[in-house]
């Protein structure tokens, strides 16, 4: 098992578009394990491979209280969206920043698990929000890009200041 480094906004590599996984094999299962370990250690509820600088369509998620309900999405696609909702989102790649984002309220997602088995999931609530947030990462999009350019500039300045002070 290995802990992976999480890219921090505004790292350019967060804008890379992920490629589909060609074969769900041991390499992908090891990636999933390392991503899950990294997500749990960082106390996140989801992690997209993009965030650890692997540009393949792999997402892990766990919304359970006891961190014992890992969900794996390989080559996920959202096939249906309905309704509108807002949520104050955060991101492991934009630490300490929480902003309201508009999303579809209910979605249907199709994906493969780490054994290569296809599944379809209807989601609402935080699960639907998190799936949309993670699929955005795979498309190279970070949630702050939904905000005004003024807010994005302020967030970048804040993160820069914090990085300076951390030295
Ligand atoms: O840990 C996370 N919490 C969260 C809260 C609201 C909306 C989305 C998220 S996902 C985030 C982990 C992360 O950055 N995934 O990409
Ligand atoms: Ni994120």
pLDDT (0 to 100) of residue 30: 98
Residue 7 lies in a domain: no
Domain count, the chain: 1
Does a structural domain hold residue 1?
A: no
Nearest CA to ligand 1 atom 6: 89
- Using DSSP's 3-state secondary structure scheme, residue 143 falls into helix
Residue 133 domain flag: yes
Range of the structural domain that residue 109 is part of: 12-166
Give strand ranges (E) for the chain: 46-48, 58-61, 71-82, 85-89, 99-103, 106-112, 118-123
136 lines ligand 1 (CB under 6 A): no
pLDDT digits (tens, 9 = 90+) for 77-133: 999 999 999 999 999 999 999 999 999 999 999 999 999 999 999 999 999 999 999
**42 falls within a domain:** yes
- Compute the distance between CA of residue 79 and CA of residue 58 in angstroms, rounded to an integer: 17
* Residue 93 belongs to a domain: yes
Mutate which of 133, 137, 147 for ligand 1? The one with the most ligand atoms within 8 Å of its CB, which is: 133
CATH label of the domain that carries residue 101: 3.90.45.10
User: Does residue 89 sit within a domain?
Assistant: yes
Q: How far apart are CA 91 and CA 111, in angstroms?
A: 22
Beta bridge partners of 60: 47, 72
What Cα–Cα distance (Å) separates residue 79 from each residue in 43, 84, 101, 109, 120?
29, 16, 21, 6, 9
86 is a domain residue: yes
In tens, the pLDDT along 5-48 reads 999 999 999 999 999 999 999 999 999 999 999 999 999 999 99
Those residues whose beta carbon sits under 5 angstroms from the ion ligand 2 are 91
The rounded Å distance from CA 40 to ligand 1 centre is 12
Q: Sign of the C-alpha dihedral, residues 115, 52, 105, 124?
A: positive
In a domain, 36, yes or no: yes
Length of the chain in residues, anyone?
167
CB atoms near residue 119 (< 10 Å): 13
pTM exceeds cut of 0.95: yes
> Is 127 near ligand 1, meaning CB less than 6 Å away?
no
With H, G, I as helix, E, B as strand and everything else as coil, classify residue 24: coil
For residues 47, 50, 55, 58, the Cα torsion angle rounded to the nearest 10 degrees is 20
């Amino acid at each position: 098992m290995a802990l992976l480094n999480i890219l921090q906004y505004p790292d350019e590599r967060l804008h890379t578009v992920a490629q589909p996984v060609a074969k769900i094999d041991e390499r992908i299962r090891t990636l999933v394990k390392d991503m899950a370990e990294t997500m749990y250690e960082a106390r996140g509820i989801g992690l997209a491979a993009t965030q650890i600088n692997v540009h393949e369509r792999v997402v892990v998620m766990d919304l359970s209280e006891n961190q014992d309900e890992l969900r794996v999405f390989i080559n996920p696609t959202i096939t249906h969206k309905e309704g509108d909702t807002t949520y104050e989102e955060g991101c492991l790649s934009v630490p300490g920043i929480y902003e309201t984002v508009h999303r579809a309220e209910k979605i249907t997602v199709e994906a493969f698990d780490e054994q290569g088995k296809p599944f379809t999931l209807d989601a609402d609530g935080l699960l639907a929000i998190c799936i949309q947030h993670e699929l955005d990462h795979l498309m190279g999009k970070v949630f702050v890009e939904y905000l005004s350019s003024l807010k994005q500039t302020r967030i970048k300045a804040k993160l820069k200041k914090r990085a300076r002070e951390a030295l």
